[in-house]
Amino acid sequence: MNQHIRVRFAPSPTGPLHIGGVRTALYNYLFAKKHGGDFLLRIEDTDQTRFVEGAETYIKESLDWCGISYDEGPEQPGDCGPYRQSERKDLYAEYVDQLIGNGRAYYAFDTAEELDAKRKEAEQQGTKFSYGPKNRDDLNNSLHLSAEELKVRLENEEAYVIRFKTEAHKTLELHDEIRGYIEVDTEVLDDKILFKSDGMPTYHLANIVDDHLMKITHVIRGEEWLPSLPLHVSLYQAFGWEAPKFAHLPLILKPSGKGKLSKRDGDQLGFPVFPIEWIDPASGAVSAGYREEGYLPETLTNMLALLGWNDGTDQEFFSLEEMVEKFELSRVHKSGAKFDPEKTEWFQHHYLQEQPVEDLVDQFLPILASNDVYPEKTYVKEVVATIKERATFVSDFWELSFFYFVAPTEFDAKSAKKAWKNDSEEWMRALIGKLESLEDFSKDKVQAEVKDWINTQGLGFGKIMQPLRLSLVGAMRGPDVFHIAASIGKAETLSRLHFAMEKLS
Ligand code: GLU
C-alpha cells in the first residue's frame, strides 16, 4: 500500500466509552500503526442535546490508560484541526450549500405536527412513514417551490431542515473491507436530515465532511453504522469526492451469545463493560471500570483484540507492538464475538505474572499498610515472588500471603478438623523440640532436618506437615510450609506452634 493511511476514532461524548468503543479505537490504532499511518481522535459533539459533562475527558483518559495514543486530536493538533466538531460548526454550512446548489439536498419545512400526523396515518394503515423518494413530492419542501417562493419562505425565517435527496431507482454497490460487496436499492432509503435550522449539521453531514477534510482513507467502525453506509457513500458521490474504504466491525455479544453487550450489562452480569470507572454526573451512579477493578491495560487490549480478530494461528497473547505487527483487516471476522469474562481473567492472570515484581510490591505496600503491617521491602518482594503465581489481581495478594506478615488468630474449622488429630499436640511438641535445636533456620536446612526427623520417627509425612501448616497459616493452604517457616523465622514459627496447641487441643 503506498497510500498514506489515515484513520480516525470518532466518538460522541454522550457518556462513558463502552469496551466496544475501545475495541474500535484499538483496531483503528493497530491498522494505522501497522501501515505507518496516522490515527486521529475526533470528538463528534454536534448533538448538544446529548452532550454529557466529563465524557470527552473520560474517553481520552481511557485511551491513554490502554496505551492507544493518537497522532492528531483535540489536545494533539495536526494540520486538519480543530478536532472537536463543535469548534468546526461554521464550516459545514458551506458544504450543505454545495448540495443545495447541485440539487442533491433540499429545504424541508414540514412541522413536527405535520410529520407526526403522517406517521400516525401510516401506522393506521399498517405501514411506516419514511420521508423519501416515494413521497417527498407531496410533502412540505422546496422540491416543488419556485426559487422566488423559497426565497420568501427563507426570508420569513420559517423553520426548516435540509434533507439529502436520495437518488430514486438506483442500486448502490457498496463495498465493505470485512463483508465484501453489498447491494442496496435506494428505494428503501429515506432522505436523512443533514442540517438543522439551529445552524448545526447532523452526524451524517459532519462526519462525511470531516472525514473528507481530514483525508481519512479508511473508516473502521462498529457494525451499528452499517445501515448508514448507503447514505454516506451517496454523500461522497453527491460531493464528487472519493470515498474512503469502509470496514464495519462485528458486534460484541453478551457472554450468552444472545444479543449485543450493552452498557447496562456491566451492572447486571457482574463484570465491567467500561475501561475505567464512570461516575454519572447527573445521578452520581458509579459504573465499574477495568482499571479500578485491578485489571492491567494489557489484559484489556489483548482481550479486545481477540474479540473479532486473530492472526490465523493459535497464539493468544499479544503485546500491543505484536498486535501492530500482525493486525490485518482481512482477518477481522464478520460474525459477532461473544464476550467472555472468564477468559478476561485468564489474560489478567497471565499479564500479572509478567509485571516486574518491584511494581507489584509497590502496589502491595499500601494494602499491607492498610492491614497495619510495615515490613521491609526486600521481604515483601520475596513473598510476592512466591505467591503471585496464584494471584490474578494485586488485591488477591493479602489473602494469599497474610501469614507471612501476621500470625493466624483463628483456625479454619474445616481445615482444623482434617489436620489436627488427637495426637497432633504431642507431635507438635516434639517438632518444637526438634526446631529449637536448629541453629540454621534457612528453608533448605529446616526442610532437610524435619524430613529426616519424620523418617527416623517412622511417621507418615502428613502427620507432621498438616498440623504444622495449620499452625503457621491457620488453614490448609499456602505455598511450601518450609518457605513460610524460614521466612517468618524460628521464634515466630515456634510461637505459632504454641498458640495452635493452646487453641486446638
Ligand atoms: N460519532 C459516531 C459514534 O459515536 C461515529 C461513527 C463513525 O465512526 O462514523 O460512534
Q: What is the pLDDT of residue 197?
A: 79
Task: Determine the residue of 7, 12, 50 to mutate for testing ligand 1's pocket, defined as the one with the most ligand atoms within 8 A of the Cβ atom.
Answer: 12
Catalogue the active-site residues: 263
- The DSSP string of 35-82 is TT-EEEE-B----GGG--TTHHHHHHHHHHHHT---SBBTTB--TT--
In a domain, 422, yes or no: yes
Please work out whether the CB of residue 207 comes within 6 Å of at least one atom of ligand 1. yes
Say how many Å lie between the CA of residue 430 and the centre of ligand 1: 73
To which H or E segment does residue 364 belong? helix 357-370
Q: Looking at residues 171-177, what average pLDDT do you find? A: 97
Q: Looking at residues 84-106, what average pLDDT do you find? A: 96
Cell representation of residue 382? 520475596
Say how many Å lie between the CA of residue 21 and the centre of ligand 1: 9
Q: Are residues 23 and 82 in the same domain?
A: yes
- Is the model's pLDDT at 479 over the cut of 70? yes
Where is pLDDT greater, at 155 or 1?
Answer: 155
For residue 448, the domain's CATH number is 1.10.10.350
Please work out whether the CB of residue 12 comes within 6 Å of at least one atom of ligand 1. yes
Backbone angles phi, psi at 247, to 5 degrees: -140, 120
Count Cβ atoms below 10 Å from residue 42 Cβ, excluding itself: 26
Q: What is the pLDDT of residue 147?
A: 95
- 203, 234, 249 — which closes off a domain? 249
- Is the model's pLDDT at 1 over the cut of 60? no
Alpha helices, H only, 242-340:
265-269, 297-305, 320-326
Q: How many CA atoms lie within 13 A of 390 on its CB side?
A: 14
Number of domains observed in the structure of the chain: 3
In a domain, 272, yes or no: yes
Q: Are residues 64 and 110 in the same domain?
A: no
Q: Are residues 83 and 95 in the same domain?
A: no
In a domain, 331, yes or no: no
Phi-psi region of 487 (alpha: psi -120 to 50; beta: other; left: phi over 0): alpha
Q: Are residues 283 and 215 in the same domain?
A: no
- 249, 276, 291 — which closes off a domain? 249
Q: What is the pLDDT of residue 49?
A: 87
Please work out whether the CB of residue 10 comes within 6 Å of at least one atom of ligand 1. yes
| Closest atom of ligand 1 relative to the 228 alpha carbon | 9
Q: How far apart are CA 4 and CA 148, in angstroms?
A: 47
| Closest atom of ligand 1 relative to the 21 alpha carbon | 10
For residue 283, the domain's CATH number is 3.40.50.620
In a domain, 457, yes or no: yes
Find how far residue 69's CA is from the centre of its chain: 15
Q: What is the pLDDT of residue 269?
A: 84
Percent of the chain exceeding pLDDT 90 equals 96
| Closest atom of ligand 1 relative to the 9 alpha carbon | 8
Q: What is the pLDDT of residues 51-60, one digit of tens each?
A: 999 999 999 9
User: pTM of the entire structure?
Assistant: 0.94
Q: How far apart are CA 34 and CA 37, in angstroms?
A: 8
Q: Are residues 47 and 58 in the same domain?
A: yes
Residue labelled with grid coordinates 515490613: 375
Q: Are residues 270 and 298 in the same domain?
A: yes
Q: Domain limits at 31?
A: 6-87+251-305
Say how many Å lie between the CA of residue 219 and the centre of ligand 1: 10
Q: Looking at residues 465-477, what average pLDDT do you find? A: 97
Q: Are residues 166 and 283 in the same domain?
A: no
What does DSSP assign to residue 269? H
In a domain, 336, yes or no: no
Q: What is the pLDDT of residue 446?
A: 98
Closest C-alpha residue for ligand 1 atom 6: 10
Beta bridge partners of 253: 260, 338
- Is the model's pLDDT at 375 over the cut of 90? yes
Q: Are residues 156 and 94 in the same domain?
A: yes
Beta bridge partners of 219: 246
- Is the model's pLDDT at 180 over the cut of 60? yes
Q: Which amino acid is at 441?
A: F
Q: Looking at residues 194-200, what average pLDDT do you find? A: 89
Tell me the pLDDT of the chain averaged across its residues: 96
Q: Are residues 19 and 124 in the same domain?
A: no
Say how many Å lie between the CA of residue 220 and the centre of ligand 1: 10
Q: Are residues 96 and 243 in the same domain?
A: yes
For residue 175, the domain's CATH number is 3.90.800.10
Q: Are residues 125 and 205 in the same domain?
A: yes
> Confidence class of residue 487 from pLDDT cuts 50, 70 and 90?
very high
Q: Are residues 45 and 94 in the same domain?
A: no
Q: Which amino acid is at 308?
A: G
Q: Looking at residues 249-257, what average pLDDT do you find? A: 95
Say how many Å lie between the CA of residue 492 and the centre of ligand 1: 62
What 3-state class would DSSP assign to 96? helix
- 281, 305, 329 — which closes off a domain? 305
In a domain, 16, yes or no: yes
Question: Alpha carbon of 95 to those of 91, 104, 215, 349: distances in Å?
Answer: 7, 11, 16, 52
Exposure string of 365-374, with b = 16+ CB inside 10 Å and e = fewer, is eeebeeeeee
In a domain, 367, yes or no: no
Please work out whether the CB of residue 11 comes within 6 Å of at least one atom of ligand 1. yes
Please work out whether the CB of residue 386 comes within 6 Å of at least one atom of ligand 1. no
- Is the model's pLDDT at 179 over the cut of 90? yes
What does DSSP assign to residue 27? H
In a domain, 391, yes or no: no
Closest C-alpha residue for ligand 1 atom 5: 10
